[in-house]
Amino acid sequence: MRKKVEFAERDFFKEPFSRAEIEKLLQGGKPSEMFNFRSPSFKNMKVEQDKLTDAQLIDLMFKEPRLIRRPVVKLGKKVYFGADAKTLAAIMK
The total number of structural domains in the chain stands at 1
For residue 12, is it within any domain? Answer: no
For residue 23, is it within any domain? Answer: yes
pTM of the model: 0.85
For residue 62, is it within any domain? Answer: yes
The residue range of the domain holding 66 is: 19-91
Q: What angle do CA 75, 76, 80 make, to 5 degrees?
A: 35
- Residue 56 maps to which CATH number? 3.40.30.10
pLDDT by residue, tens only, the chain of 93 residues: 566 667 788 999 999 999 999 999 999 999 999 999 999 999 999 999 999 999 999 999 999 999 999 999 888 888 999 988 898 888 777
For residue 45, is it within any domain? Answer: yes
Cα–Cα distance measured from residue 31 to residue 61, given in angstroms and rounded to the nearest whole number: 9
Given this model, what pLDDT does residue 44 score?
Answer: 95
